Structure formats: C-alpha cells, structure tokens
Structure 1
Amino acid sequence: MRGITITYSYDGDEAIWRSAIAAFITAIEADPDIAGKFVYQVAVADDGKTRIHWGRWDSTDTLTHLQSQPYFKTFASSIKDFAGGPPTATGHDVTQKTTGW
C-alpha cells in the first residue's frame, strides 16, 4: 500500500479550510472508482496551525484516477493556497499497520 503525508502551516479562516477538506472527502467517498480504495485523513496539530494530511491507496490505477478528477485538482489548488505555496509532501510505502480503526 502506498501513502503520502502532507504537512503545512495554516492560520486562516477555519470554516473555509474545513469546508475544503469536507468537500474533498465527500467527493472521494462518492467516487465509485476509488471508494474503499483510497483513504484520506486530516489532522490539526496541537499547535493549532500545523495541518497534517495522510492519504493511502491500493494501486497506481487508483491514484491515477484520483489525480485526474476535477475535485482533486480543485483540492490540490486549495491546499497550495492554504499552505502559501507547495506543502511538504512525503511519499511512503506502508509496511505494517494495526487492525481496526
């Protein structure tokens, strides 16, 4: 399983930020080609400004499909705006994980 961790600092309007995240997650869950194949989580660090996003996917086809969608392009642009430029993105392979939520 592949994954990515994205981090950046944001201290703008929380409602606008949360709305963009919610719209992206809703679009992922509504997309029958990737629902259940792409998982996305977002967190706000204890400092209240650092934002952390984790994405995981099952295959290159899933990622390619996601990145070709208009909702992804809109979200990626929003994240760049929230971050004030390109966020830090680190790709990785998930080698082990716990079960459950």
Structure 2
Amino acid sequence: MKHFMIEYQFRNGTTEAWHQEIGRFIKAINADPELKGRIGYRCMKNRDDNSYFHLASVTDEAAQKTLQSRDFFKHYTEMTRQVAGGEVTVTPIEVIDATAA
C-alpha cells in the first residue's frame, strides 16, 4: 500500500463550493468499479486557518495508474491547484504503525 499527503493553503473560491467538489471526487472514486476498495481518500482542514490536508492511499501501482487516467481525477487535480493558488505539496508517506480502526 502506498500513501500520500497533499497539503495546501486554500486561497481561491468559496469553501462551500470546494467542499462540494471534494465530495464529488470521493463519490466518483467510490462509484468506479475498478477503483472501489483500492483507493482510500480522506480530506481534513485545520480548524484555525486555511490549511488543508488530504490523505490518499492506493493498494498498488495499477490502482494509482487507473486513478490517474480518469477524467474526474484530472479535473480534481486542476481544481486543487486553482483553489491553492498553484502551491500544492504532495508527499509520499510511510505508515509505521496504526490502530485497527
């Protein structure tokens, strides 16, 4: 399993519209029969400022390539750049240990 953290400061647009866009992206992943159960995605926001953190996980390289080939992924990636004013950091992360839930 591969994990990534996507970080940025929200700079453009309305948070309501952006949160709806995030919801559409997650629904698209869940609705895709080739991706369902192979991609994990979670979005969080710092309560005190405009910092956003997205945690993504993929089961394997094939799932990652399939996701990247989807039009909804390309659209969402571009929208992320727009709301962040072009400054998005994607960091591969390694899980050391975790609870069962």
Task: Give the TM-score category using the shorter length.
Answer: over 0.9
TM-score by length of 1: 0.92
CA distance in 1, matches of 2:10, 2:87: 12
State the aligned residue count: 100
Aligned pairs for 1:38-77 (under 5 A) are 38-77=39-78
Q: Structure 2: state its 5+ residue gaps.
A: none
**Superimposed CA distance per residue, residues 19-63 of structure 1 (whole angstroms, 9 cap, x where no aligned partner):** 110110000000111111110000110223001100011100000
RMSD: 1.2
CA distance in 2, matches of 1:94, 1:69: 27
CA distance in 1, matches of 2:96, 2:74: 29
Aligned pairs for 1:13-92 (under 5 A) are 13-92=14-93
SS of alignment partner, residue 84 of structure 1: coil
The residue identity in structure 1 corresponding to 2:6 is I
**Superimposed CA distance per residue, residues 64-91 of structure 1 (whole angstroms, 9 cap, x where no aligned partner):** 0000000000000000001100401101
TM-score by length of 2: 0.92
SS of alignment partner, residue 97 of structure 2: coil
SS of alignment partner, residue 97 of structure 1: coil
The residue identity in structure 2 corresponding to 1:28 is I
Q: Offset of 1:10 from its aligned partner?
A: 0.8
Q: Structure 1: state its 5+ residue gaps.
A: none
Tell me the residue number matched to 2:9: 9
CA distance in 1, matches of 2:27, 2:93: 24
Identity %: 29
The residue identity in structure 1 corresponding to 2:9 is S
CA distance in 2, matches of 1:84, 1:59: 30
SS of alignment partner, residue 8 of structure 1: strand
Q: Offset of 1:15 from its aligned partner?
A: 1.3
